[in-house]
Amino acid sequence: MIARLIVQTCAGIGLMGMLLFVAAGTLHWPGAWVFLAELAILGLASGLWLGQASPDLLRERMSPFDKGGQEEADRTLMKVLAVVFCAWLVLMALDACRFRWSHVPFWWHAVGAFSILVAFAIIHWTVLENPFAIVVVRVQRERGQHVITTGPYQFVRHPMYAGAIFFFAGMPLLLGSWYGLVGALVMIALFCVRITIEERTLRAELEGYAEYAADVPYRLIPGVW
């Protein structure tokens, strides 16, 4: 399982690197190298830790996206997310490196790197607290899924997506693309759509979720939504 984690992580980093550097037209892009290195280090560290704490969850999270019981709407949305994410990487490469439309001060790059670190911390806290936090939207009856109300779930119903906001904001800053922030807003909007799909499934199929939702009224950001 650890070997598979390493292979999948390296493959994902390699694909992103290819999209970034081909679109940029050069390998001389320090922000991209820092971004990819940060993802590789944090991704492997988080995965190795999760493999010790919850190996079943790590195995589920590394499994193929298209699984039985997944909502059709979620399956379609994940394909859209993948396409938009790849296009977003290309946009940021064109902006920050090939055409240099943006001029992002160095300290904003540092803010972006820190934002990605915060994102990983929140997401890692979430998956350690919730052994059912898999990649696809489906209720895992075979694993005895139940409602999780502890940890970050005390504050919002979808803390992993809350962490993703920091990731989406940090990426364009670290890569040096102001235009990339527009793509971040698109990604966040698509994740909000996914939350509505997930909420519909959980309310209909997971016992006790409606009561939990009444106790924790905010989906993504405390005091906002």
Q: What is the pLDDT of residue 54?
A: 83
Q: What is the pLDDT of residue 155?
A: 97
Which residues, in sequence order, are CB contacts of 97 under 8 Å at separation 6+?
23, 24, 25, 26, 29, 32, 176
Mean pLDDT per block of 10 residues along the chain (225 residues) reads 86 97 97 98 93 82 67 91 98 97 96 98 95 88 91 97 98 98 97 96 95 97 92
Q: What is the pLDDT of residue 56?
A: 81
Burial degree of 73 (CB within 10 A; 0-12, 13-18, 19+): middle
Q: Enumerate domains of the chain plus CATH numbers.
A: 2-215 (1.20.120.1630)
Q: What is the pLDDT of residue 144?
A: 87
Q: What is the pLDDT of residue 55?
A: 83
